[in-house]
Chains A and B, each alone.
Chain A
Amino acid sequence: MTATEGVGRRRFLSLLGAGAAGASLPGLVTGCAPGGKGTGPAAGGNRPLSAAFYQAINDLDPHGASAVDEASLLANRQIYDTLVAWDGAKATPGLATSWRQPDETTWEFTLRDGVVFHDGSKLTSADVKASLERLAASDGPQKPLWSTVDTIKAPDPSTITITTKEPVGTLLVNLTLAFILPAAQIGKGDLSRKAIGSGPFAVESFTPSSQLLLKPAPGYWGGASKLAGLRLPYIPESSTRMTSLQNGEVDVTWIIPPDELERLRGVDGVKIESKPGVNYFLTWFNCGRKPFSDPRVRRALLHALDIKTIVSSLYGDAAAVMDAPIPSAVFGHAPQKPYAYDPDLARRELAEAGHGSGIRTSMMWFKDTGPLATELAQSIISAWAKVGVVVEPQQIEKAAWLKRLTALDWDIELQVNTVTTGDADYTLGRLYTSEANRMGYANKELDGLLAKAKATSDQDERKSLYGRACEIIWRDAVGVFPAALAATYGLRSSVAGFVPAANSQPEFRTVSTTG
């Protein structure tokens, strides 16, 4: 009976809302400039902050199959804590207040005192141990990051010790993806839906790929959020998403499509914030296949591209021309000398390599890999046509693209790649080794550099090793690295305290709204 009454009242209220919206219609049409704050029916009141990322949150299990989806990571950052955080160059304290390395393969972390989970239970080293062990044993996409972990021990409630089979320089970075959940929930609770963490926000309700509703966790160790709540809706259609920002249905949305950026800048009540991002376009040559096994051909193709003009005309300031195989926001980036745009040189080099009569090849991509991907592919293809390289465009579906990519069944491919950890190891170390064999390129020297960089934990040494790796990949023209996408956020002007994040995982704890 109560349930029926509840539904009845809610429906009555929403009908009332409909009536109100209808009644104020003439005033709105004549009196309000487009974009004025508070004209949207959803605006105003002590409602939760609404933040729409452009991808869907599917699963809250931080160790599950979707765990490194950008959208999952975004949700997990609000709900869970990690041992350490990453500020772009070094690890900063999270659940661990300090750590030391007694020897090359042993790490010892001291845990923060008085941290509680959203269910009120106290966080101890047993929870950390259980979470890390679950992650290491999981079948998901994080598996390769944890394959070198040997033992995880909890000698006392506030200490955790991790030993690795070999020295692992990226352990701290990888730990920023290792979310901690209560040991008691593992193997029991429905972790995909009813997540319990110790992070700044607790789950109120969740409908996969539709909406995640969070409320601030009182007494969060880093300081509790002052928001009434945090709503993370999924709006698949990007023009609808822009509309929701303009009429105040959502307070924050990202990523802003490059072709909408200029227009939104002129909209009242909306502000744009952006930051160099960790997402970037790359166009690999299949270096194991003729004619791309010849580095002269690959270099010639780079000289045939006026990357600067292509990128600035397509993306404006929503993307930056790259000067290395990884974006400048990534740890380990070292700038290289750009390939000069010189179609004549390109033709000469192609002729020297024995392709004076031209090349017929193909390029594959899937439409949603990144903003204006098709337009970018077409620009590159038409530039190559001018030097006699005829590229058949193959826009295919994501699943088909992935299948061919891993089977090395392609000539040239275009994709947006994400340096999820913000560290060169995640991309260079993972993709460019001969063993990984992701684009048919094999280089003993590069293998050695990447292995050494993986093993050392001296950050300066790692930086210089990855710098060398950038140089080799760039010099050998393993691919075209056209553009690093900016992380672009659209905000209502009433939103304060928001800090744009390079990795699309902003923190909402410090955000507040005015008016």
Chain B
Amino acid sequence: MTAYLGRRLAQALLQIWGAITIVFIALRVLPGDPAELILGSQATPEALEELRGNLGLDEPLLVQYATHMRDVVALDFGHSWRQSVNALDACLERLGSTLSLSAWAMVITIVLGFAAGSFAARRANTWADHLVSVSSLVGQALPPFWIGIMLSLIFARWLQILPSTADGTMVSLLLPAFTLALPFVGWLGRLVRTGILEEMNQDYVRTAHAKGMSHRVVFYIHVLRNTLVPVVTMLGLLMGYFIANGVIVEVIFAWPGIGSLLIDSITFRDYAVVEAVLTVITVCYILLNLLVDVLYVYLDPRIQLENA
């Protein structure tokens, strides 16, 4: 177990290093100069030169990269020129909002996804099953920003029963969380449906039925539990999707998370914040994957660690 964890951890570190490097290169390849954005259009060339020097932008790229990696190891992403604060602090103070949004989206996905999946599985190949399948396909095909704007128009503008922006209440969480969750409810539903149908054909189900257990007990206690294994793997990835997809959804609903911060920082070439946010997202994603690998083992002790 320890050796396995150690190896996965080393892989994770390598992935994080790769992500930081790609982000660093991508940002420098983009046209646009922070010094110009800071000083505005009336800046003199001398002032620009001086500021570039202060920001370290006049160094060769490799030197900038080395400095950057050294700072990142010390968890120092530098100073946000837009907000005049430490970039990582600016990111971390908004991470909570993003995580709570993602967590609620996850709760909605799990509850509705399992409900839809088991509903469809128990009525396999009836019109109800097909209805669930078709709507889940439609749900997955719709882009999140469109779903967001539609939900906002319907529930906030026309019906006026839900707030369209974050105001610190639980109610204001509903629209963005549903927007994030909807495309994945159908996806999870189909996963659960397939899982259940496969399990239903297993010998142990027949045995359980044969020894006189009620259909409900067999279904909810045995079958559903066994479908969890593939589903949990997917849920770990899903949390990562939610954090990343949140970027657009946060902008639509003025949700004060790292997504809206990221968009703003890219526009103004606030390198430090962009790097901090992307690194935090990457680390979250990789750690979640690690967590899933570990959970996997606990859910199904039969799984061989070395082959996992």
Contacts and interface: CB of A to CB of B under 8 A. Distances in A.
B36 A403 contact: yes
B115 interface: no
Interface string A178-196: 0000000000001111000
A65 B84 contact: yes
Interface string A403-446: 10110000000000000000000000011000010100000000
A41 B171 contact: yes
Interface string B137-174: 00000000000010011001111111111011111001
B152 A240 contact: yes
Contact of A247 (B42, B84, B157): B157
A191 B85 CA distance: 10
Contact of A56 (B36, B43, B264): B264
Contacts of A239: 149, 152-153
Interface string B28-43: 0011110011111111
A362 to B, nearest CB: 16
B162 A41 contact: yes
B94 interface: yes
What is the predominant secondary structure among interface residues of chain A facing chain B? loop
A59 B82 contact: yes
Contact of A400 (B32, B82, B149, B268): B32
Given A15-B170, A21-B171, A399-B33, A233 B254 contact: yes
A400 B84 contact: no
A66 B82 contact: yes
Contacts of A32: 160
B30 A399 contact: yes
A235 interface: yes
A236 interface: yes
Interface in A7-49: 11, 14-15, 17-18, 21, 24-25, 28-29, 32, 34, 36, 39-42
A207 B170 contact: no
B156 to A, nearest CB: 5
Contacts of A68: 40
B254 A236 contact: yes
Contact of A209 (B41, B164, B260): B260
Contacts of A65: 38, 81-82, 84
Nearest to A58: B82
Contacts of B253: 237, 240
Contacts of B269: 399
Nearest to A405: B41
Nearest to A398: B267
A210 B258 CA distance: 11
B132 interface: no
A493 interface: no
B256 interface: yes
A370 interface: no
Contacts of A140: 38-39
B157 A210 contact: no
Contacts of A243: 152-153, 156-157, 164
Given A42-B167, A436-B42, A34 B256 contact: no
Contacts of A191: 84
A139 B169 CA distance: 40
A240 B171 contact: no
Contacts, number: 180
Given A234-B254, A400-B32, A41 B161 contact: yes
A140 B156 CA distance: 40
Interface residues of A, number: 66
A144 B160 contact: no
Contacts of A127: none
Given A39-B160, A243-B164, A436-B42, A236 B263 contact: yes
Contacts of A193: 85
Contact of B170 (A18, A39, A40, A234): A18
Interface in A454-478: none
Interface string B66-90: 0000000000000001111100001
A164 interface: no
Nearest to A67: B40
B52 to A, nearest CB: 12
B267 A211 contact: no
Contacts of B169: 14, 17-18, 41-42
Given A34-B157, A209-B260, A400-B32, A236 B251 contact: yes
Contacts of B160: 28, 32, 34, 36, 39-40, 246-248
A223 interface: no
A11 B100 CA distance: 13
Interface in A222-249: 233-237, 239-240, 242-244, 246-249
A388 interface: no
Interface in B98-149: 149
A61 interface: yes
A402 B41 contact: yes
A240 B84 contact: no
A191 B31 CA distance: 31
B31 to A, nearest CB: 4
Contacts of B167: 42, 233, 249
A156 interface: no
Nearest to B44: A144
A77 B256 CA distance: 24
B162 A240 contact: no
B47 interface: yes
B171 A18 contact: yes
A497 interface: no
A338 interface: no
Nearest to B269: A399
A207 B164 contact: no
A368 B30 CA distance: 18
A206 to B, nearest CB: 10
A17 B171 contact: yes
Contact of A141 (B39, B83, B93, B260): B39
Interface of A: 11, 14-15, 17-18, 21, 24-25, 28-29, 32, 34, 36, 39-42, 56, 58-59, 61, 64-66, 68, 139-141, 143-144, 190-193, 207-211, 233-237, 239-240, 242-244, 246-250, 397-400, 402-403, 405-406, 430-431, 436, 438
Given A236-B264, A240-B254, A398-B267, 7 more contacts: A207-B93, A237-B254, A244-B165, A247-B160, A397-B31, A399-B36, A402-B37
14 contacts: A18-B174, A21-B161, A32-B160, A41-B162, A59-B84, A68-B40, A139-B54, A143-B47, A192-B84, A236-B254, A237-B252, A243-B152, A246-B157, A398-B37
Interface of B: 30-33, 36-44, 47, 50-51, 54, 81-85, 90, 93-94, 149, 152-153, 156-165, 167-171, 174, 251-254, 256, 260-261, 263-264, 267-269
Q: Which 9 A-B pairs have the closest CB atoms?
A: A399-B32, A14-B170, A192-B84, A210-B256, A141-B40, A39-B160, A400-B31, A235-B254, A243-B164
